[in-house]
Amino acid sequence: MKYKVNVKKTEEGYAVWCPTLAGCCSQGDTEEEALENIKDAIQSYLETVEELNKNEDSRYVEV
């Protein structure tokens, strides 16, 4: 899957976050490192959401 991320240069390096996944953010010393780190953060975020919702009655809808 592809997720849109925002990248911002800061005094410490680069901040990166995924606007569609509330609270999913990371950073890195370089832009490349920040982008690699957000991939790990997104994967961990999605795994955590899946685990928290594993016993819920869920359905897929097409939009």
22-51 pLDDT, tens digit per residue, is 999 999 999 999 999 999 999 999 999 999
Q: Can you tell me the distance from the alpha carbon of 28 to that of 14, in angstroms, rounded to the nearest whole number?
A: 5
Residues 9-24 have pLDDT tens digits of 999 999 999 999 999 9
Neighbours of 56 (CB within 10 A): 6
- What is the pTM (predicted TM-score) of this model? 0.86
Report residue 52: phi and psi, to 5°. Answer: -65, -25
Q: Which residues contact 26 (CB under 8 A, 6 or more apart)?
A: 15, 16, 17, 34, 37, 38, 40, 41
